[in-house]
Amino acid sequence: MNDRKTIRIALTKGRLEKDTVGLFEKIGYDVSQLRDKGRRLILEIPGADIEVVLAKAADVITYVEHGVCDMGVVGKDTIDEHGGRFFEVCDLGFGRCRFALAGQKGFDFYKGCGVKTIATKYPNVTRRFFEAKGMDVDIVKIEGSVELAPLLSLSDGIVDIVETGTTLKENGLEVYEDVSPISARVIVNPVSMKLKKTAIENLIAEMEKNI
Amino acid sequence: MKSYDLITPEGTRDLLFDECVARKNEEEKLRAMFTAHGYSEVITPALEFYDVFNMKARSFKQEDMYKLVDGKGRLMVMRPDSTMPIARIVATRLRDSAFPLKLFYSQNIYRCNPKMAGRDDEIMQSGIEIIGGDEKRSDLEALCLAAEVLNSCESTDVRFEIGDNTFYKYLLKKLELEDDEETVRLLIESKNTPELKIYIENNVKKDSPEKAKAAQILSELPTLFGGAEVFDRAEKLFGGTVLLDSLYELKETFRSLCKLESGDKITVDLGLVNKAEYYTGIIFRGYIEEYGQAVISGGRYDTLIGSFGAQDMPAVGFAANVNAIAAAYLRKNTQPLSKRADILVYAEDDSLIDGIRHCNSLAKSGVSAEFCACSSLEAAMQYAKANGIKHLEVVDCNAEEKIVKIGL
């Protein structure tokens, strides 16, 4: 955190970025730089004392946690998986989907007493989910299309983000159980929240009003 | 086998030169401050038995502590905190001393942080504890001393923040949410008001007006932070509950603090609920703009000493993160802190002991003198130049002039 009175907000690149920029436009900010950004990663909203940083989801948390960005917009999925010390002050409502436990259609996941194997990109979310059930599972971390794992019999099920369920359906998989809901959240660094309270609260209020 | 002999473990670091001086300066500054206020220093072992930190009232997660096993198979930890060991001392060796006790410490603590997050696992903390004193006086003294520490930090902007977790604890009990304490606490700590409201909606039976009122207060608790205006809002919200008394007390403390400090640097946050099992009253924190987390953290912990088998005893204290304060200082001040010697003393081969004697007498007279470990005068001159040493003195007991001064 440098000597700056501007608010620096980190946006998760991609869809959340587009939705947030749309929200900024609705508030009435000049988003021309954000629309026409080229390859730049730090952008300004002229006349609003807001600086926008574009980053990957998990990095948004890291930047906010260290206080180099005051605020961030990031998916609840990343917050649940990554954790960290920050304030989570607002649910923006967009980017809505859910974590779900899924697997081959017709398979009774909870049947039998053998230890099940779960493939996932979100090992922490998965571990917590089964810990709460008091169930031991083997977790396999997968980087790409997790749906492959049960099809290739690497795992009994997957824990992944489900939006419409189309990918699952097309691959003969189905949701067994919802794990938790996901949407875009506004996070704030605790020190920034205290030092720039008015400015940050005003911005959040504007965002909430225009959701 | 892979060898890790060239690096330090993640979360630790070597401190060289200026980093080292800055750290020591800050540490000394705080030591002087605490001593000047009548505090006595204690040092506790870096290694403690796991049991010292493993109780509910002591609020340490086992995965956050570095653990090892002693010769008898007992579990030990690298101390993650200095207050528990001090409480242990007070409950044992200092049990019969004349209270109140005013103690301070300045030592490293160890935390097993998530990796790759850029956090320190080894943190130098300086802090104080006031044990067995009158609550009002001790609270105010601890707060003022913490504010003094905060103001001594090199920073463009600071905030001092007070809170009190009695409100939170009362509401939790009233709403019978104690079994789900951690969920509620995390929602409040992260100021996640939207989810807190949903949680309360789903989990609280508002079967009486008191409960409905408590639920309303709990759902607004995270938003009750800011300046003096928070007290007005809270007074309206708490109206008709027993919480008002504690609120007035906190307000009085806030006002007293404002008399000492400029009011706009002091804020209040009724949603401070960290270490809820451990703190039993006022909680406070200090922030500097240059660091993304609190640099000072403290509060009242009246049940801790009792949990070591002694009588419960009122106690309040705080710790300052010296790593963060020193780092902030270094970022602001680019002037070099570590100084090389004023004079380099080079002695000829058969005058070595005379050279060392000369060095000693220079050092005694107050100038810093370094005995040159180079084997030739030429090398000595190069060494002096490379290290920015401006004066070279050559000692040769066989020469006419035994000491020759050369300006560089």
- Tell me what ipTM this predicted complex has: 0.77
User: pTM, whole model, 2 decimals?
Assistant: 0.86
* CB within 8 Å: B192 and A87: yes
SS3 B361: helix
Q: Identify from B293, B295, B296, B331 which residue to disrupt to test chain A contact, counting A C-beta atoms within 10 A and taking the largest count.
A: B293
Both B222 and B363 in one domain: the answer is no
- List the single best residue of A89, A191, A192, A197 to mutate versus B (max B Cβ within 10 A): A191
Does A102 lie in the same domain as A67?
Answer: no
Across the interface, whether the CB atoms of B117 and A86 are under 8 A apart is answered: no
Summarize pLDDT for A104-135 with one digit per residue, the tens: 999 999 988 889 999 999 999 999 999 999 99
User: Does B354 lie in the same domain as B278?
Assistant: no
CB contact under 8 A, A89 and B226: no
Average confidence (pLDDT) over B100-128: 92
Nearest to B326, CA basis, from B114, B103, B17, B66:
B17
Q: How many helices (H) and strands (E) does chain B have?
A: 12, 16
Predicted confidence band of residue A179 (pLDDT cuts 50, 70, 90): very high
Q: Which of A3, A90, A191 sits opposite B293 (nearest CB)?
A: A191
Mean pLDDT throughout B363-384?
95
Residues B377 and B242 in one domain: no
Of all residues in chain A, the one with the smallest CA distance to B198 is A91
Same domain, A90 and A109: no
**Judgement on whether residues A83 and A105 belong to the same structural domain of the protein:** no
Provide the CB-side half-sphere exposure for B127 (13 A, CA).
29
Sheet holding B391-395, edge to edge: B369-371, B343-347, B391-395, B403-407
Calculate the CA B116 to chain-centre distance. Answer: 22
Q: What is the phi/psi pair of residue A135, to 5°? A: -115, 130
CA angle A104, A106, A111 (to 5 degrees): 95
Q: Report the amino acid identity of residue B319.
A: A
pLDDT given at position A2? 41
- Tell whether the model's pLDDT for residue B258 goes beyond 80: yes
Together in a domain, A168 and A121: yes
Same domain, A105 and A89: no
B115: pLDDT strictly greater than 80: no
Residue B201, token pair as written in the block: 């909606």
Domain count, chain B: 2
User: If you ran DSSP here, which 8-state letter would residue B178 be given?
Assistant: G
**Which pLDDT value is given to residue A96?**
94
Q: Name the domain boundary from B272, B304, B332.
A: B332
- Is A204 within a domain? yes
CA–CA dist A59, A11 (Å, integer): 10
Cβ contact (<8 Å) for A67 and B287? Answer: no
Residue B305's pLDDT is 93
pLDDT of B56 above 80: no
Domain contains B248: yes
Q: Which domain covers residue B383, as residue numbers?
A: 343-407
Whether B6 is in a domain gets the answer no
pLDDT band at residue A4 under the 50/70/90 scheme: low
Residue pair B287/B258 in contact (Cβ under 8 Å)? The answer is: no
Shortest CA gap A203–chain B (Å):
15
Asked whether residue B150 falls in the same domain as residue B240, the answer is yes
Residues B174 and B275 placed together within one structural domain of the fold: yes
Q: Cα angle vertex B130, ends B126, B136, to 5°?
A: 125
Enclosing domain of residue A145:
97-181
Helix (H, G, I), strand (E, B) or coil at A137: strand
Res B350: pLDDT: 93
**Which one of B194, B226, B288 has the shortest CB-CB distance to A197?**
B226
Supply φ then ψ for residue A156, to 5 degrees. Answer: -85, -25
Interface of B with A (CB under 8 A): 114, 117-118, 156-157, 159, 161, 190-195, 225-226, 267, 269, 287-294
Distance CA B300, CA B163 (A): 11
Which residue matches tokens 């049940």?
A: B303
Is residue B101 predicted with pLDDT exceeding 50? yes
What CA–CA distance (Å, rounded) separates B112 from B53?
14
Identify the weakest region by mean pLDDT among A2-6, A137-141, B17-21.
A2-6
Residue B104 inside a domain? The answer is: yes
Q: Is residue A27 part of a domain?
A: yes
List, in sequence order, every residue forming a beta bridge with B286; answer none if it has no partner. Answer: B160, B296
Do the domain assignments include residue B309? yes
Shared-domain flag, residues B297 and B385? no
Domain membership of residue A1 (yes or no) is no
pLDDT digits over B121-147, tens only? Answer: 999 999 999 999 999 999 999 999 999
Count how many domains chain A has. Answer: 2
- Distance (Å, rounded) from C-alpha B236 to C-alpha B170? 17
- My answer on whether B63 and B162 are in the same domain is yes
- Residue keyed to tokens 């039976």: B205
pLDDT of residue B154: 87
**Torsion (CA) B128, B109, B62, A58 in degrees, nearest 10:** 110
| Cα–Cα distance measured from residue B126 to residue B135, given in angstroms and rounded to the nearest whole number | 22
Range B94-100, long-range pairs (CB < 8 A, 24+ positions) = B95/B310, B99/B131, B99/B132, B99/B133, B99/B313, B100/B130, B100/B131, B100/B132, B100/B133, B100/B134, B100/B138
Chosen domain end from B306, B332, B358? B332
Per-residue pLDDT at A1: 41
pLDDT 10s digits, A141-174: 999 999 999 999 999 999 999 999 999 999 999 9
Per DSSP bridges, beta strands A157-162 and B47-49 are: unpaired
Contact A1 B292 (CB under 8 A): yes
* Same domain, yes or no: A200 and A126: no
Question: Are B205 and B138 within one domain?
Answer: yes
- Which pLDDT score, from 0 to 100, does residue B42 have? 97
pLDDT of amino acid B96 = 93
Identify whether A89 is part of a domain.
Answer: yes
Domain identity same for B93 and B33: yes
A3·B190 Cβ contact <8 A: no
The minimal CB distance from A90 to the residues B194, B226, B292 is found for B194
Write a three-state SS string for A56-83.
Answer: CHHHHHHHHHCCCCCEEEEEHHHHHHHC
Q: Are B267 and B225 in contact (CB under 8 A)?
A: yes
Total CB pairs under 8 A between chain A and B: 63
- Residue B338 included in any domain: no
Instruction: Check if A204 contacts B (Cβ < 8 Å).
Output: no
B10 occurs within a structural domain:
no
- Which CATH number do you get for residue B354? 3.40.50.800
Pick the residue from chain A with its C-alpha nearest to B187. A88
| A47 and A144 inside one domain | no
Instruction: Please name the residue ranges forming H helices in B131-274.
Output: 135-151, 166-174, 181-189, 193-203, 209-220, 229-238, 243-260
Q: Is residue A162 part of a domain?
A: yes
Q: Which residue from B114, B195, B291 is facing A191, i.e. has the nearest CB?
A: B291
A113 and A138 share one domain: yes
pLDDT value at residue B55? 79
Average pLDDT, stretch A83-93?
Answer: 92
Give me the mean pLDDT over the B277-286 stretch. Answer: 92
pLDDT over 90 at B253, yes or no: yes
Q: Hey, are the CB atoms on B192 and A191 less than 8 Å from each other?
A: no
Of B312, B332, B352, which one is at a domain's C-terminal end?
B332
Nearest-by-CA chain A residue for B222: A89
Residue A159 domain flag: yes
Which tokens go with B200?
């309360």
Tens-place pLDDT, residues B57-79:
677 888 899 999 999 999 999 99
Kindly report which listed range (A129-133, B114-118, B398-402) carries the lowest average pLDDT score: B114-118
B88 and B150 part of one domain:
yes
CB distance B192 to B200 below 8 Å: no
**Is B192 within 8 Å of A66 when comparing Cβ atoms?**
no
Query: Has residue B181 got a pLDDT over 90?
Result: no
Q: Are residues B312 and B354 in the same domain?
A: no
Q: How many Å apart are CA B143 and CA B164, to the nearest integer?
A: 13
Look at residue A2 and tell me if it is in a domain.
no
Domain match, A39 and A135 both? no
Average pLDDT, chain B: 93
What burial letters (b/e) apply to B333-360, b meaning 16+ CB within 10 Å?
Answer: eeeebeeebebbbbbbeebeebbeebbe
- A51 by Cβ neighbours in 10 Å (0-12 / 13-18 / 19+) ranks as middle
Task: Residue A110: give its domain's CATH number.
Answer: 3.40.190.10
Q: H/E element holding A33? A: helix A32-35
B128 and B174 belong to one structural domain: yes
Please check whether residue B35 lies inside any domain of the structure: yes
Within 8 A of A91 by CB-CB distance, chain B residues are: 194-195
Specify whether the CB–CB gap between A150 and A33 falls below 8 A: no
**pLDDT tens digits for range A183-200:** 999 999 999 998 999 999
Tell whether A206 and A165 lie within a shared domain.
no
